Amino acid sequence: MFELSSPGRRAWSFARTDLPEWAAADLVPPEHLAPEPVALPEVSERDLVAHHTRLTHRQYSVDLGAYPLGSCTMKYNPKLADVAASLPGLARVHPAAPPSCTQGWLELLSELSRALAEVTGMAAVTLQPPAGAAGELTGLLLLRAWHASQGDTGRTKVVIPDSAHGTNPASVTLGGYEALTVASDHRGCVDLAALRAVLDDEVAGIMLTNPNTLGLFEDDIAAITAAVHEVGGLVYYDGANLNAILGVTRPGDMGFDIVHLNLHKTFAVPHGGGGPGAGPVAVTEALAPFLPGPLPARAPDGTYGWRTPARSIGRVHSWHGNALALARAYAYLLALGGDGLRRVAEIAVLNANWLRRRLGDHYDVPHDRTCMHECVVSAAGLKRRTGVRAADVAKRLLEEGFHAPTVSFPLVVEEALMIEPTETESPQTLAALADALVRIAEAASVQDHHAPRTTPVGRVDEVRAARRLVATFDARLPPTGGG
Amino acid sequence: MFELSSPGRRAWSFARTDLPEWAAADLVPPEHLAPEPVALPEVSERDLVAHHTRLTHRQYSVDLGAYPLGSCTMKYNPKLADVAASLPGLARVHPAAPPSCTQGWLELLSELSRALAEVTGMAAVTLQPPAGAAGELTGLLLLRAWHASQGDTGRTKVVIPDSAHGTNPASVTLGGYEALTVASDHRGCVDLAALRAVLDDEVAGIMLTNPNTLGLFEDDIAAITAAVHEVGGLVYYDGANLNAILGVTRPGDMGFDIVHLNLHKTFAVPHGGGGPGAGPVAVTEALAPFLPGPLPARAPDGTYGWRTPARSIGRVHSWHGNALALARAYAYLLALGGDGLRRVAEIAVLNANWLRRRLGDHYDVPHDRTCMHECVVSAAGLKRRTGVRAADVAKRLLEEGFHAPTVSFPLVVEEALMIEPTETESPQTLAALADALVRIAEAASVQDHHAPRTTPVGRVDEVRAARRLVATFDARLPPTGGG
Amino acid sequence: MAGYVPHTDAEVESMLGFLGLSSVDELFSVVPAALRLAGRPDPSGRRRFLDLPDGSAEPDVLAEMERLAGANLACAGPGVGAGHGLVCFAGGGAYDHEVPEAVRALASRSEYVTAYTPYQPEVAQGVLQALFEYQTMVARLAGLAVANASLYDGASACVEAANLATAVTGRPGVWLSLGVHPHWRATMATLAAGSGVELVDVPLDDGVTAWPQVAPDGVSPDPPGALVVAYPNHLGCLEDLGLARRVADTTGALLVVALDPVAAGLLRPPGEWGADVVVGEGQPLGTPLSFGGPYLGLFTCRLEHVRRLPGRLVGETVDTEGRRAYVSTLRTREQDIRRERASSNVCTNQTLIAVACGVQLAWLGTSGLRELALRCARATRYTRESLLALDGVEPLVGAPTLREFALRLPADPAVVVERMLEDGFLAGIALDADGGAGNGPGLLVAATERRTRSQIDAYVAAMDKVIR
Amino acid sequence: MAGYVPHTDAEVESMLGFLGLSSVDELFSVVPAALRLAGRPDPSGRRRFLDLPDGSAEPDVLAEMERLAGANLACAGPGVGAGHGLVCFAGGGAYDHEVPEAVRALASRSEYVTAYTPYQPEVAQGVLQALFEYQTMVARLAGLAVANASLYDGASACVEAANLATAVTGRPGVWLSLGVHPHWRATMATLAAGSGVELVDVPLDDGVTAWPQVAPDGVSPDPPGALVVAYPNHLGCLEDLGLARRVADTTGALLVVALDPVAAGLLRPPGEWGADVVVGEGQPLGTPLSFGGPYLGLFTCRLEHVRRLPGRLVGETVDTEGRRAYVSTLRTREQDIRRERASSNVCTNQTLIAVACGVQLAWLGTSGLRELALRCARATRYTRESLLALDGVEPLVGAPTLREFALRLPADPAVVVERMLEDGFLAGIALDADGGAGNGPGLLVAATERRTRSQIDAYVAAMDKVIR
Ligand SMILES: Cc1ncc(COP(=O)(O)O)c(C=O)c1O
Ligand SMILES: Cc1ncc(COP(=O)(O)O)c(C=O)c1O
């Protein structure tokens, strides 16, 4: 982009105007006026289009094929949701416009909240958090506010299992708590005895995801939530894995108090290369008064407005959350309905189990029992036999035209490959993916350290990137060819 | 696509309906009822999306880079025209709707006609022909009708230069005439003497493009049109090369009677992988009464309607031509305006001449004088020296990330490479293209017969395709890998 | 702006310098001065060469395009009642079908949109394979062996079919059913002036073609090269293709059938009836109404005629590595090679519309195409029965119909259409004596899968009011 | 349909067979029965597990979404007068700017839209390079060395800036100008409850921040870790960043500036004023109003703080062949590696919005960004002068403004906004005492490059009528 630049070239054009043409110096006091304009690329629209179109040809995506990244739920993102989210009546609405001109939006947000409450088995929902981690932090602040409301300010710790996603401990810290890690047991589940041993009146709560990060359903879940409640703690549900249990079981029924959802996983909001997502938080009746506000609310006359809960912790977003992402999720929800959501869970779980079984002869399966929406296999044996690690398998899979699974996570499994096929991959695609993984295992060799060789670039030097930081074009090294 | 199919799988869904659910047998008389449904692929929406997204990654396009195909004017297609053509108020209008509800369309078509008349220097325009060749045939039928109206039915021949595009002679035949070829002279232009020698009262007219297919301006043009008029013939302008002369000179001013335009070249209608285009025909006052109808017309009260010219040859399209392509061209015209059109010609010609000069030391330039919007160079010398032909150069250029020029055309130049950079390619892109062509010439070797090697597929076996025709999946050979 | 030209003044200077020129105007010195536009200086001193306004910025262009779009009454979606555009009951070869967003999204991928004709197959496998799939599906719809990669529209496909048939048989005569769309017939007549095809109109009898009596030995004074008949025809009626085939057999003509591709979801394929060439208008599959274009000419024929096939044909082959690959094939038929002896002059066709059609057909699949046809037929039946229940409304003809039908109204159809606009309905197409194929004025009505019961009921109620 | 699941019943059967199961329900036997939703049979006998309606087909979904969209008053384009949506004079951190179609088209390429976070750089060079370019341009806007790959929105960027500054200085106190957007301040307050950041509100004096007096030796009883100030601030005023820098220097605090990226086209970059961290709301560059999201948190800082940078950072490197390549770097800051000691918990950010912003900035280029800022400033000046000419309308504060300004009206601003809707204008944002940063109720007005003279004149005329 910067190399395409030529001084004075331009893509921009602005509408005809007949406003007075005050000069910059008439409009900006001298001490504030930029001495020179910001140096940006100067390119033609044609070159801009070619540049980015070419870049997209160097980018894998769900639309190009299977994306079995564990813990990420990379399912098909229906095109109809793209269209819904670009309707001018949704996309061109100012967030500070009074409710009298945003009734459609308020109804949408209100109905979406209701549906998410039903799916999770909770009482009330905030749609403000713009991603999962933001939802977690919101949840922890709710937990804090709730304890404070009980006059209980001595709790300093939040328990998390060792298999938890990194955002959990990080959010715990930002929520002002200390993270207390409990180990998983041999089944890959929370060790109930170990958990009981750490539970005391310093524990503010626990964060869990169920199915857990190994893709396993925590079957002691009722006992776990009861044990935490017993010591006065609250139980937080990380909803990143909700895809597995849609219409099957609900966090509320399991005894959870606070739930965040990743709409960019479970509800097919496209991931955008790393966002935007949406991380709504749902809570029990008891916690509802603490939710961030304002919330959409329906008046007795049927009109909608905003209402801030009585003891609200305050806002967690500049406006109303990632509204257009919420609109996409709502369109998806309408398309699927209750029946479609249940079907999602059924087929997501079927696909994952099929893969687990199919791969079992070629990879280690540390927890070889019915998994939920994803399965974790290990390349530990492969590594011992051939030197080929999980990361190499991942790179080889890129050569086969698939995206790689999640590797080296969860941390509790050596050489982990965490594979989440999702319900939108057909049996044929699953079979092709499995065949590729089997082929890779069977032909594993030291050559695989050099994979991938057929991708737009070869294996990338991550160490150099960190050691010799070049984070802007201005700090660039002299070109070394390619790209 | 067909391989992805699984019986019973589906992407489709239709709206809720509460109409009576008559069975097929209630609706279709038995002798008409299909014994079994049409066998189509049965795929999921997800797989359909992945399939076509992948296919697009196997396809070069203007949006990916330079496309210097001579005689094709592959310029940047502004995104704003895409949007304009998809406005529901244009895209969702039924072609048989009465004028009272299509005033916007009629105004658009009417204004576009006016602008094209101005650009060509002609009196009246039909927008019906859906492509250049259709425009040619329309023009020939106009010519025929005009002669008939003069009671002159003895004319049987239409003259075309040997360098003409293949559609010209084919259209002549379909217009009911015999094509009479005249040779070009050493300058690459129509040989005036040779032309005069064939002109007689059997000649109905001549078809020319100017600049001609060698990218050269026919500077005897006034004499040529006069000579044809002298024997009672009409002069037809193939507007495929109009990009070179926008705002510089006009067919009408040169003495042409009938002009077709390729809006998918000159007016940036994207080529769509081979259409749709639009091939409006513009004519002089004398020929206007013969135009196909109906034409958009403005009533004295300012409203628009349809009017069929008095002696119309009749329709040449099911409806009103490729309307949405016309809308794109109109948006482009509004964006460029008169000043922008002139600028197009200036820079298109500048780019072509720069390339001609830059390539002159490495390729033969049969007619090394100022060219217009394209230049024709020859690989004849290269072939003699190295065995590498124009077609090899083209394939090598694909490896360099560019589209190839037009090769083996015009037929009058041995080993022709016809290069049309267009005005939307920057000097940097031009330089890179030229560097690649120079590199190819300098490193030419027999290896080049195996190019391209880095494209989605290697050199394609065209002979086999024709010998063992497989034109549908049903007639397929057993798979041979790939694709 | 200014033509999307990237060049800065400095770059133009430097390029001119390389050419030894001092101004851009010098490039045009090869154009005789007398022919060069002189230009007039405008108030600002700049020369204007064309009598056109200066260019506009994107927002201004879009505002103007939106103004024009706003001056039309567009067809509304199924969920929308009167007041938000017209509810469309017009057909006549252009139908208001749903285009799924996935189809729209894929067909507007910029690689498909901004590619040229696939002259370099190595970098055009996307378009080529998409066309190959399209050809396969269209051939199956027709029940024939080969389809080309598209023609301009239904009319041009019909023209080419007549040209092919007259060339194959060496007979210029074409018996053209008046059930073929009047605009197609008009186009055929226009182009016949050049090609020498001799069209003989064949009238309808109660909605279906009344072929001339032919002596059983087929020896007729002027035997045709082709019979052309539409299925369903312009009045919506189902023609007897078996009869047409027998007439063709007796006279030695080829049978050309113009097929509606949506109705094809329920009908026995013309190929099974013995059609030699099947053409059609592809718009109903994947293309919005678009004020009549770009549409899509479907063209399929028996394998034996493939060397006379007009337009482009994609074939499967292999590359140097033996990998499957696609390429334009049998190119010697085409005008750029065979020139004046080409089977057709078609060069640019409607590729992108064909790609959209292929995507749409795959989205529908076996069961979806049938379901679509069924839903159209049901909506049409319901509309027809409801309208016929109105006082003074009668069928225009008696033959069975499927997805469209013609009525005789107790009022002038053109006036009815105009008045129904006020209620938010595009009531249909008013047929004059010609459009009604000689059956006098009538109203042609089609209801697609997008029409809901409440829309139809409201339409019928409005009609009831208007025709009184 | 049904969840876009491709599986046919036969395929499900066969997969279950492979697993030795006889029903899908058995897969869920690992879920304790007591927790499993039992489901209730519906009238058709099918079990319903959730109290939600059944799924709908695409046209029905779109019709419902269109109904909801139609129940909002959207902002109109520049060419459109009253009657076709609202003409927008509201800003307050969310501005009605043009998004060029090229930007929209590129940012909606499905590879960008449907990719995950670039964990596998070899197949993610598209997103990575686009982010690298974005980082470069945003850093230049701010006049600082590094930018991250985005945060959620302006508020979250401000929160992270405060967290970084308090971590760097080891001081929990943050002097927070009341000129910072009230929603951002509210968000900071919410999150401070967990992070322990201690916010001290600093009032405005006549529109600009009145920093506390600090002893010249800087020794204050409770020195802050950061000063946070907006440029321009929420009332549209240009803050004295030189003064802020001096206060920061004296107290040893970091200076955090919340920059409007469009105003940045005319303003001296905060980095040149000595800012340590510059944050901002990126919406004005490439993103429609979107009812407030997804928006874009801009975050830039001095190089020395890069190891505390929140969120993702793309760096340039090479691949095994020495070709240029991009990759997420300094990942040890991030939560998936450093876990509870991470510099931030951000994981998913706003990549696609950042990509759009990068495309938009490149579309504008050096001269375009300046031109955009100039046009906004002109429209704003014209609007301001016209409104001030009305009886009883006064500036709310006296400090100079650029692209937005606040007025005192002779009527209740909330009522004025409501009444102006009837005339087709979103008149601005009604400021209560808090939003007015203590200056009592007022109206906050912004006019972007999309506002034409005639729109502004009509707006002022309507305002004249409404405030009387
Ligand atoms: C288990 C789990 N929890 C939390 C998150 C965080 O969500 P987000 O990336 O939206 O912040 C993720 C996803 O990345 C996750 O997989
Ligand atoms: C010189 C010339 N004439 C005529 C044509 C035919 O135009 P079309 O392909 O639109 O039928 C072309 C383009 O292919 C051409 O280059």
Give the position of tokens 């100008």: D177
pLDDT tens-place string over residues B419-459: 999 999 999 999 999 999 999 999 999 999 999 999 999 99
Q: What is the DSSP letter of A302?
A: S
User: What does the DSSP assignment read for B174-218?
Assistant: HTT-EEEEE-B-TTSSB-HHHHHHH-STTEEEEEE-SS-TTS---
D6-15 pLDDT, tens digit each: 999 999 999 9
Compute the distance between CA of residue D165 and CA of residue A48 in angstroms, rounded to an integer.
37
d(CA B472, nearest CA chain D) in Å: 25
Q: Kindly state whether residues C93 and C106 are assigned to the same domain.
A: no
Close Cβ partners of B467 (under 8 Å, ≥ 6 residues apart): none
Residue B94, min C-alpha distance to chain D (Å): 20
Q: Give tens-digit pLDDT for C134-183.
A: 999 999 999 999 999 999 999 999 999 999 999 999 999 999 999 999 99
pLDDT at D79 over 70: no
User: For ligand 2, which residues put their CB under 6 angstroms from it?
Assistant: B 71, 131-133, 165, 167, 209, 238, 240, 262, 277, 279; C 347-348
Q: What is the pLDDT of residues A264-290, one digit of tens each?
A: 999 999 999 999 999 999 999 999 999
Ligand 2 centroid–CA B260 distance in Å is 10
Interstrand relation of A157-161 and A178-182 (parallel, antiparallel or unpaired):
parallel
Q: Ligand 2 pocket test: which of B72, B262, B265 has the largest number of ligand atoms within 8 Å of its C-beta?
A: B262
A9, A48, A49: best to mutate for the B interface, most B CBs within 10 A: A49
Confidence of residue A412 (pLDDT cuts 50, 70, 90): confident
> What are the tokens at D86?
């609202």
Closest CA to A396 of A358, A460, A448: A448
**Quick one: D196 and D280 in the same domain?**
yes
CB-CB under 8 Å, B428 with A76: no
Residues with Cβ within 8 Å of B309's Cβ and at least 6 positions away in sequence, in order, are B288, B289, B290, B291, B293, B295
Residue closest to A424 by CA, chosen among C102, D347, D123, D126? C102
Residue C58 clears pLDDT 90, i.e. is over it: yes
CATH number for the domain including C339? 3.40.640.10
Q: Is residue D23 part of a domain?
A: no
Identify the pLDDT of residue B479: 47
Report residue D17 as tokens.
């067979």
**C194 lies in the same domain as C225:** yes
Percent of chain B with pLDDT over 90: 93
Q: What is the pLDDT of residue D115?
A: 98
Cα C279 to Cα A122: distance, rounded to the nearest angstrom: 59
Residues of C in contact with D63 (CB under 8 A): 77-80
User: Are residues C402 and C439 located together in one domain of the fold?
Assistant: yes
pLDDT of residue C3: 74
- Judge if D172 and D300 occupy the same domain: yes
Residue D405 sits in a domain of what CATH number?
3.90.1150.10
CA dist B298 and D262 (Å) reads 45
Count of other CB atoms within 10 angstroms of residue C82: 16
pLDDT at position C339, please? Answer: 82
D228 lies in a domain?
Answer: yes
Other CB atoms within 10 Å distance of the CB of residue C398: 11
Q: Which residues of chain B neighbour C94 with C-beta distances below 8 Å?
A: 94-96, 319
**C26 SS3 class:** helix
Query: Does pLDDT of A255 surpass 90?
Result: yes
Instruction: Tell the residue number behind the tokens 């040529």, with chain if given.
Output: B224
Q: Which of A205, A251, A254 is nearest to A231 (CA)?
A: A205
C332 and C369 both lie in a single domain: no
Cβ C65 vs Cβ B87: under 8 Å: yes
Does A25 reach chain C within 8 Å, measured CB to CB?
Answer: no
Q: What is the CATH number of domain A343-465?
A: 3.90.1150.10
User: From the alpha carbon of A71, which atom of ligand 1 is closest?
Assistant: 16
Task: Tell me: do C292 and C211 sit in the same domain.
Answer: yes
C393 and C293 in a common domain: no
Q: What is the mean pLDDT of residues A65-84?
A: 96
End of a domain among C360, C391, C410? C360
Ligand 2 atom 5, closest CA? B132
Residue D435 pLDDT > 80: no
Q: Which residues, including other chains, have CB under 8 Å from residue B426's CB and lie 6 or more apart?
A: A4, A6, A9, A44, A46, A47, C6, C7, C11
Question: Which ligand lies nearest to the CA atom of residue A72 in the structure?
Answer: 1
CA dist A419 and A393 (Å) reads 12
Both tokens of D47, joined, read 């079990």
The neighbours of chain C, by the rule of 3 or more Cβ pairs under 8 Å, are A, B, D
Nearest-CA distance from A2 to chain C in Å?
15
Question: Are residue C376 and residue C355 in the same domain, yes or no?
Answer: no
Taking the centre of ligand 1 as the mean of its atom positions, its distance from the CA of residue D267, in whole angstroms, is 38
C-alpha span between D344 and D308 (Å, rounded)? 8
What dotted CATH number matches A81-335?
3.40.640.10
Q: Are residues C166 and C311 in the same domain?
A: yes
Asked if B44 has any chain A CB less than 8 Å from its own CB, the reply is yes
Same domain? D166 vs D200: yes
Answer yes or no: do D243 and D275 share one domain: yes
How far apart are alpha carbons A318 and A112 in whole angstroms? 20
Q: What are phi and psi of D229, to 5 degrees?
A: -145, 150
Q: Where is the domain boundary, D341, D360, D379? A: D360
* Exposure string over D338-356, b if 16+ CB within 10 A, otherwise e: bbbebbbbbbbbbbbbbbb
Task: For residue range C258-268, list pLDDT tens digits in order.
Answer: 999 999 999 99
Give the position of tokens 């690690």: A389
Q: Give the separation between CA D306 and CA A470, rounded to whole angstroms.
A: 11
User: Do the Cβ atoms of B424 and B76 come closer than 8 Å?
Assistant: yes
Last residue of a domain, one of C360, C382, C400: C360
Q: Are C202 and C178 in contact (CB under 8 A)?
A: yes
Cβ(C225)–Cβ(C169) below 8 Å? yes
Sort out which chain B residues have CB atoms less than 8 A from D13's CB and list them.
Answer: none
Domain of residue D226, residue span: 102-360
* pLDDT at position D105 over 90: yes
Residue D14 forms part of a structural domain: no
**Neighboring chain D residues of B7 at a CB cutoff of 8 Å:** 8, 10
Residue D192: partners with Cβ closer than 8 Å, 6 or more residues away: D162, D198, D199
Alpha-carbon gap, residue D463 to D468, rounded angstroms: 9
Minimum CA–CA partner of B14 in chain D: D57
Please tell me if the CB atom of residue A341 comes closer than 6 angstroms to any atom of ligand 1.
no
A17: nearest CA partner in chain C? C60
Q: Which residue has its alpha carbon closest to ligand 1 atom 5?
A: A132
Is residue D212 domain-resident?
yes
All structural domains of chain B with their residue ranges: 2-58, 81-335, 343-465
* Cβ–Cβ below 8 Å for B331 and C452: no
pLDDT tens digits, one per residue of A180-228: 999 988 888 999 999 999 999 999 999 999 999 999 999 899 999 999 9
Please give the mean pLDDT across all residues of chain B: 95
pLDDT in tens, C266-312: 999 999 999 999 999 999 999 999 999 999 999 999 999 999 999 99
Q: How would you label D209-230 residue by residue, b for 16+ Cβ within 10 Å and e otherwise?
A: bebeebeeeeeeeebbbbbbbb
Element (H, E) at D66: helix D58-70
- Looking at residue C42, what is its pLDDT? 85
Using pLDDT thresholds of 50, 70 and 90, give the confidence band for residue A411.
confident
Q: Do domains B81-335 and B343-465 have the same CATH topology?
A: no
Q: Which residues of A touch C56 (CB under 8 A)?
A: 16
Looking at the domain assignment, is residue D307 inside a domain? Answer: yes
- D399: tokens are 């400090």
Residue C45 within a domain = no
Q: What is the DSSP letter of B417?
A: E
Q: Provide mean pLDDT across the span A374-402.
A: 96
Q: Is the pLDDT of residue A481 over 90?
A: no
Number of domains comprising chain D: 2
Enter the pTM of the model: 0.97
Instruction: Compute the distance from residue A261 Cα to the ligand 1 centre, in Å.
Output: 9
